[in-house]
């Protein structure tokens, strides 16, 4: 006599596939013996301890609201109103939301580029950030980036320590690091780091994990922060999948990821001369590293529009992760089999037949011009206007191409002519934007 209302399957709508009825047997609540994610003292505590051991952390916390909740909790645990946080401008939207909740203010760091393509934040940019913003409480780095480009976390950590700050790491796309020597190293030295286990490991969406390291973080406040950004009714199937993903990694992680890396190498080799890729050597030359299981097809360099290219690849039966005007991102994971290699290779090889004209370039993301604090703008009265009418006004919303979920325009930023041009080009180019209304209008502060 307890929730959930489907009562272990009996109340599941009958038009749902039978599988849902089966799954409902596992969809339980905090019954005797099932522990409580928000106050774990039994099986969930044990599972989290095993996760910490497998991922070389001091403490690990299962997240049932995605890495987004972990990112927000990190910021809430560490910062308060008025604190400054160094934030490279390639941060995921959850970073901005965490700043709004906590009242902390971002100090933006530039993201290095290669021919307009975003790489990551450099050690020098971090040093310069601390010089210009002395007393910054924390730095939050996204590494790897969506494209698998990794910042030099070891060196960055030294700079953070010299400045008595906290290192927060959004490692959403790097949960598999540490399970193959062919992958970049995991960011073990961060005080807190968040991994989306549903992105690169076998957990159900949106299962994720937050790891703590060292004595800089107040665990009590961290737990309170986690309670504040997560549902009070955690999904047990999701928790089960996190524990199972941990076991899979602990027992077979190396074997599985060595194999994925070998397939990635084979695919990369077979695409030589077909389409330019973002290459590890090129990225290393710039002081970064690359996850080779992320294949960024630099279609624009070959004169091919990325959205056209991904459409062609899809017609050949292969869905890719992301398509932009000048590139396509394809991800290899544990679900990928050697049998699929041939199909994928021939799908990609069609691109060679395309008539590559002049390089397709997408305008660089316009420089941010913050005018109001994130919180001031978030709580400001606002109205919708056309993109053109918004030029010169202050944005009351985030406009975010999804994926990758990095805001082009943040709350509190002046809408420049360039930003309006960029967003119009994105809409025309078929890029999915979150943040405009259904008429393509932008919300501005009044
Ligand atoms: C860099 C980065 N951080 C955080 C997130 C949020 O992850 P989740 O979807 O697990 O909430 C994403 C999602 O795309 C991301 O790309």
Whether residue 171 sits in one domain with residue 116: yes
CATH code, domain with 140: 3.40.640.10
**Does the beta carbon of 293 lie inside 6 Å of ligand 1?**
no
**Does the beta carbon of 125 lie inside 6 Å of ligand 1?**
no
Half-sphere exposure of 121 (CA within 13 A, CB side): 27
pLDDT tens, position by position, 28-84 = 999 999 999 999 999 999 999 999 999 999 999 999 999 999 999 999 999 999 999
Atom of ligand 1 nearest to the CA of 71: 4
Atom of ligand 1 nearest to the CA of 142: 1
Whether residue 441 sits in one domain with residue 305: no
| Residues of the chain scoring pLDDT < 70 | 355-356
Domain count, the chain: 3
**Does the beta carbon of 207 lie inside 6 Å of ligand 1?**
no
**Does the beta carbon of 92 lie inside 6 Å of ligand 1?**
yes
Give the predicted TM-score (pTM) of the model.
Answer: 0.96
- Give the distance (Å) from ligand 1 centre to CA of residue 173: 8
Domain span holding position 288? 253-353
The predicted structure's pLDDT at residue 416: 94
- Give the distance (Å) from ligand 1 centre to CA of residue 115: 25
Whether residue 258 sits in one domain with residue 185: no
Please give the structure tokens belonging to residue 391: 């030029």
pLDDT tens, position by position, 334-363 = 999 988 999 999 999 988 877 667 777 777
CATH code, domain with 330: 3.90.1150.150
**Does the beta carbon of 68 lie inside 6 Å of ligand 1?**
yes
- Give the distance (Å) from ligand 1 centre to CA of residue 430: 22
The predicted structure's pLDDT at residue 431: 83
Whether residue 141 sits in one domain with residue 43: yes
Atom of ligand 1 nearest to the CA of 145: 1
- For ligand 1, pick from 87, 172, 231 the residue to mutate: most ligand atoms within 8 Å of CB: 172
Please give the structure tokens belonging to residue 61: 């916390």
Question: End of a domain among 322, 353, 384?
Answer: 353
The predicted structure's pLDDT at residue 356: 67
The predicted structure's pLDDT at residue 427: 86
The predicted structure's pLDDT at residue 282: 96
């Amino acid at each position: 006599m307890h929730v959930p209302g489907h009562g272990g399957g009996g109340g599941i709508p009958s038009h749902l596939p039978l599988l849902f009825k089966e799954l409902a047997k596992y969809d339980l609540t905090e019954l005797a013996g099932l522990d409580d994610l928000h106050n774990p003292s039994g099986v969930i505590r044990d599972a989290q301890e095993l996760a910490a051991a497998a991922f070389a952390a001091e403490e690990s916390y299962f997240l049932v609201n995605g890495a987004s909740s972990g990112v927000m909790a990190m910021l809430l645990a560490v910062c308060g109103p008025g604190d400054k946080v160094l934030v490279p401008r390639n941060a995921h939207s959850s970073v901005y939301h965490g700043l709004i909740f906590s009242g902390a203010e971002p100090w933006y760091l530039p993201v290095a580029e290669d021919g307009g393509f975003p790489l990551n934040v450099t050690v020098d940019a971090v040093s310069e950030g601390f010089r210009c913003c002395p007393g910054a409480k924390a730095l939050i780095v996204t590494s790897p980036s969506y494209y698998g480009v990794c910042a030099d976390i070891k060196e960055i950590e030294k700079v953070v320590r010299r400045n008595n700050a906290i290192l927060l790491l959004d490692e959403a796309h790097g949960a598999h690091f540490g399970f193959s020597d062919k992958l970049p190293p995991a960011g073990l030295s961060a005080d807190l780091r968040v991994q989306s286990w549903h992105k690169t490991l076998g957990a159900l969406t949106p299962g994720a994990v937050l790891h703590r390291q060292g004595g800089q973080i107040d665990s009590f406040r961290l737990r309170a922060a986690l309670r504040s950004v997560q549902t009070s009714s955690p999904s047990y199937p999701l928790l089960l999948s996190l524990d199972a993903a941990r076991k899979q990694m602990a027992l077979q992680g190396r074997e599985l990821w060595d194999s994925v890396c070998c397939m990635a190498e084979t695919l990369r080799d077979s695409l030589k001369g077909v389409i330019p890729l973002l290459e590890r050597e090129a990225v290393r030359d710039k002081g970064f590293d690359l996850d080779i299981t992320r294949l960024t097809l630099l279609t624009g360099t070959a004169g091919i529009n990325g959205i056209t290219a991904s459409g062609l690849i899809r017609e050949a039966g292969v869905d890719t992760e992301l398509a932009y005007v000048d590139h396509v991102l394809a991800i290899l994971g544990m679900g990928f089999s050697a049998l699929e290699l041939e199909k994928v290779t021939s799908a990609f090889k069609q691109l060679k037949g395309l008539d590559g004209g002049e390089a397709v370039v997408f305008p660089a993301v316009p420089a941010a011009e913050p005018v109001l604090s994130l919180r001031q703008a978030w709580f400001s009265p606002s109205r919708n206007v056309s993109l053109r009418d918004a030029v010169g006004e202050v944005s009351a919303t985030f406009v975010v191409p999804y994926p990758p979920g990095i805001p082009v325009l943040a709350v509190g930023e002046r809408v420049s002519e360039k930003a309006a041009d960029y967003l119009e080009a994105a809409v025309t180019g078929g890029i999915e934007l979150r943040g405009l209304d259904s008429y393509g209008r932008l919300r501005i502060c009044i």
